[in-house]
Amino acid sequence: MQIALLGGTGDIGEGLALRLAYDTNHDVIVGSRDAEKAETKAEEYETELSSRGLDVPVGAAANPAAAADAKVVVCSVPAYHLADTIESVADRLADDAILVSPAVGMKRDEDGVHYNQPGAGSVTQLAAAAAPDGVAVVGAFHNLAAGKLANLDADLDWNVPVVGDDADAKTVVMDVTAGITGLEPLDAGGLANAAEIESVTPLLINLAANNDRLHDLGVRFD
């Protein structure tokens, strides 16, 4: 299956690109607003994979071209770029494409990082509002520590809550997630539940910032 990572040059995009290429047989394409930047990062990812004995091609293109033939399109961009990014690729998405949003709205002050809940209810619901009619939107990967995700020497042991109103699309994303070693997807219900998941991310960041032993913190429900 072809998976496009729009904004795949950023922190969460890098981690997902490396893990998907390393652990699964999916075709990974890195997208960016700048095609040259996408190509440069894809070459870096290939070099990292090659250093581990894995000769796996990583595709690269500007976001619209990256999204064009992908079954799963992960919008791994900051929340404030999410709607614009979706709108920029809307006419290139396949009818059966699945948009995945890991974005979280946050604001920082002297006390730490706080959830910045949008009027739509959640950033994932903002993505759904921006998506073309008929394109399923799923929320996933909100609570992952990007640095640890991108470190292929690090063992992961995280749950990934997944939300979506389209059951089939949610199943596809959960299957993709389960293909990454150390990630266990959990069905968290419909898109209306996304805010509860997104709001955990600022908590994790604050805990990591104030407790040395909790660096690169993720979530696990036992």
Residue 4 has pLDDT above 90, yes or no: yes
pLDDT of residue 157: 97
161-187 burial code (b ≥16 CB/10 A, e <16): bbbbebeebbebbbebbebbeebebee
Pairing label, strands 27-32, 2-6:
parallel
Angle, helices 35-50/11-23, rounded to nearest 10 degrees? 50
Residue 158 has pLDDT above 90, yes or no: yes
Residue 62 has pLDDT above 90, yes or no: yes
CB 120, CB 175: distance < 8 Å: no
Task: Give the mean pLDDT of the chain.
Answer: 97
Structure tokens of 60?
């690269």
pLDDT tens digit string along 165-201? 999 999 999 999 999 999 999 999 999 999 999 999 9
Architecture per CATH, domain 2-214, reads as 3-Layer(aba) Sandwich (3.40)
Question: CA-CA distance, 25 to 101, in Å (whole number)?
Answer: 22
Question: CA-CA distance, 198 to 113, in Å (whole number)?
Answer: 13
Residue 143 has pLDDT above 90, yes or no: yes
Residue 146 has pLDDT above 90, yes or no: yes
Q: What is the pTM of this model?
A: 0.96
Give percent of the chain with pLDDT exceeding 70.
100
pLDDT of residue 213: 86
Question: CA-CA distance, 77 to 80, in Å (whole number)?
Answer: 8
pLDDT band for position 126 (cuts 50, 70, 90): very high
pLDDT band for position 215 (cuts 50, 70, 90): confident
CB 142, CB 5: distance < 8 Å: no
pLDDT of residue 50: 97
Q: Which own/partner pairs from 186-192 qualify as long-range (CB within 8 Å, at least 24 positions apart)?
A: 186/159, 186/160, 186/161, 186/162, 186/221, 187/162, 188/161, 188/162, 188/163, 189/163, 190/163, 190/164, 190/165, 191/122, 191/124, 191/125, 191/128, 191/137, 191/139, 191/163, 191/164, 191/165, 192/121, 192/125
pLDDT of residue 85: 97
Mean pLDDT of all residues in 148-175: 98
Tokens 């759904």 belong to which residue?
A: 128
pLDDT of residue 149: 97
Mean pLDDT of all residues in 88-92: 97
Q: Looking at this protein, which amino acid is placed at residue 112?
A: G
